[in-house]
Structure 1
């Protein structure tokens, strides 16, 4: 699958053009790239969602089985990262929603789903039960985020 590194110094909407909040979503994606670069010295890369069907299905199965959440927007891109014993999958949706699953490989480790909403998008109906904290970002403007802890077992893709 063609994997494209995400720049946090030259923010581009490439791959996200179909989103009505493409610039804010690109900023959110760049914000994730900066986090991985600063914390893990890791290059955050993305691929078209159609080219990562197993990872996308894994994320959406966790959403469905843990909280009965079914995203109503098409997935545009997927990022798969395996750093410091943590398997991460990020999915960027056309609506401006970014979902990430953090899965620590150790049995006693952290396992959670995070949601981030791009500036300019409404809270999707499927996430209306969540409270969102606000965070300022130079790259993404205001990011609204929430999460939940994964309770079940979900074999890695």
Structure 2
């Protein structure tokens, strides 16, 4: 597998729930709206019909994407990880050059959320942290300039 799609159990559950909602709630509702709009007559100038068809295509595209992502997913449970090295699913506390502490969690590409510190294992920070242990100093290359961070702690929860 040249490009694995690692994901946490929580991330896989969220993607499955979104797919289920699209399939059983959103898509049937839009199909009904399109059918109602089509019943009004001339479809070429019917904005509700045109918009509904566009929304239906967007839902179908998202459902296809989610299906493919879930089919290729490799679920990795952070609770099964042991040790103090940084691997997928780890929660890492780091201290930057200015003494500020940040907490990151290494997750899959479909789970990133910068507001909560959930970063992809493929991101520059994620790649720099992988395989390191508390006390290690890593250098992260970024457009604003390189920054050094020391790993303070590694937890798997």
Normalising by structure 1, report the TM-score: 0.25
Name the structure with the higher helix share.
2
- Which structure would you say has the larger Rg? 2
Name the structure with the higher strand share.
1
